[in-house]
Amino acid sequence: MTAPSPTAAPDAAFVSPFQRLNDLLAPHSPGRAPINLTVGEPRHPVPAFVGPVLAREIDGFGRYPAIKGTEAFRRAVADWSERRFGLAAGTIDVERGVLPLNGSREGLFYAALEARRRWKGTAGRPAILLPNPFYQAYAAGAVAAGCEAVMIDAGPETGFLPDLASLSADLLARTVALYYASPANPQGAVANRADWLAVIALARRHGFMLFADECYSEIYRDGRPPDGVLAAAAATPERFAGVVAFNSLSKRSNLPGLRCGFAVGDPDFLSRWVAFRNMAAPQVPTPTQAVAVAALSDEAHVAENRRLYDAKFAAAERILGRRFGFATPPGGFFLWLDVADLGGGEATALRLWRDAGVRTIPGGYLSASGADGRNPGDRYLRLAMVESLALTEEALVRLVDTLG
């Protein structure tokens, strides 16, 4: 089956999926004690070193931090990136190729503005390409940058990665940037080296930026870390030109409230972007950066984090079997269940809440409809595997008891 052509996002794509869910469920009481599996907010323990580092660095909250971050932070990010993706020492430009972010979300948003400022195309209305389903920060950035947000279906036909073959020459000629997530949220699909090389080549051929969202890169199965865009780009003659990877401590280190992420890649883009960020973007406090240095220097807590997720996916395999098209995804921490036979994601989410007290989010709320009215997420339901093993098992048992 051929995936539909990319289409511009309708206004509904820019409404919070969680607000839409609140509106759907508010008139109804939960059938049992609620279990919330909607937000991808890690609930595992905060690493033990966080408190002592913050206490040691507490005076840093009394000073404005530099927008480009501390040298220690940039060095820690560069060293971790080189270790993680098998790069030679010194491959990452510590001075010009690393920036701290106040969580990766703001970076993904502001990057669209910088990409639009730098774009020199004249082929028509500038466009920014998003996978569909998509992370709302991508769409918000496109709109703020004055660009058309164009959705690219990422369904089973293409292994739940964006269908780049569907992009027309006219669209590519007016493309400012492409957001590409691996592991994908919510499907958990992972790009391999060949995928990354193809995306990089496409971006360079048509002169647009590639923004690689790798926030789930450290949540993976079977001990096989996903390939990353940095390793692929470093193997090309142009190295990191036109490529920026985004990551954070939220998923890797179970620190969503720390609000600390980073951008790594194209030194030309990042060194120019820092000037714009110095006027508009939030800085990252130096104590927060010190926690990041400690977190990026330790892999033991990350391995334990993965072990906890693996236990929950093992429970899902045991409880769900092959119901709803379930298969353990190679990355991320979501279930993406096909509930088309039960009336689709919205009807199923409402039923689970009213009958079982399990709060989930319809896949259609995380996706946008095309010009033909088809929403590729309508048939799916997303569950975040972020609660304890016991609560996760309870939710999955309720789901099976309710839906069959």
- Where in the chain are the domains? 9-40+301-403, 50-298
pLDDT at 44 exceeding the cut of 60? yes
Longest dimension (CA), the chain: 59
Q: How confident is the model at residue 4 (pLDDT cuts 50, 70, 90)?
A: low
* Fold match flag (9-40+301-403 vs 50-298): no
Categorize the per-residue pLDDT at 191 as very low, low, confident or very high, splitting at 50, 70 and 90: very high
For residues 185 and 334, is the Cβ–Cβ distance under 8 A?
A: yes
The larger pLDDT score, comparing residue 223 to residue 232, is at 232
pLDDT in tens, 301-342: 999 999 999 999 999 999 999 999 999 999 999 999 999 999
Q: For position 11, what pLDDT does the model report?
A: 60
* Distance from chain centroid for Cα 268: 24
CATH architecture under which domain 50-298 falls: 3-Layer(aba) Sandwich (3.40)
The fold for domain 9-40+301-403 equals: Aspartate Aminotransferase, domain 1 (3.90.1150)
Average pLDDT of span 77-87: 98
Q: Where are the alpha helices (DSSP H) in 70-168?
A: 71-84, 104-118, 136-144
Buried-exposed string 333-371: b where 16+ CB fall within 10 A, e elsewhere: bbbbbbbeebebbbebbbbbbebbbbbbbbbbbbbbbbe
In this structure, the number of other CB atoms found within 10 A of the CB of residue 51 comes to 11
Residue 39 scores a pLDDT above 70 = yes
Alpha carbon distances (Å) from 189 to 40, 206, 211, 218, 314:
16, 25, 17, 13, 18
The owner of tokens 């995936």 is 3
List pLDDT tens digits, range 57-70. 999 999 999 999 99
- Number of Cβ atoms within 10 Å of the Cβ of 321: 10
The set of residues, in sequence order, having a beta carbon less than 8 Å from that of 99 and lying 6+ positions away, is 68, 69, 74, 107, 262, 263, 270, 273, 274, 277
Report long-range pairs for 387-390 (Cβ below 8 Å, ≥24 apart): 387/35, 387/36, 387/37, 387/43, 388/43, 389/308, 389/311, 389/312, 389/315
- As a whole number of angstroms, the distance between CA 229 and CA 115 comes to 18
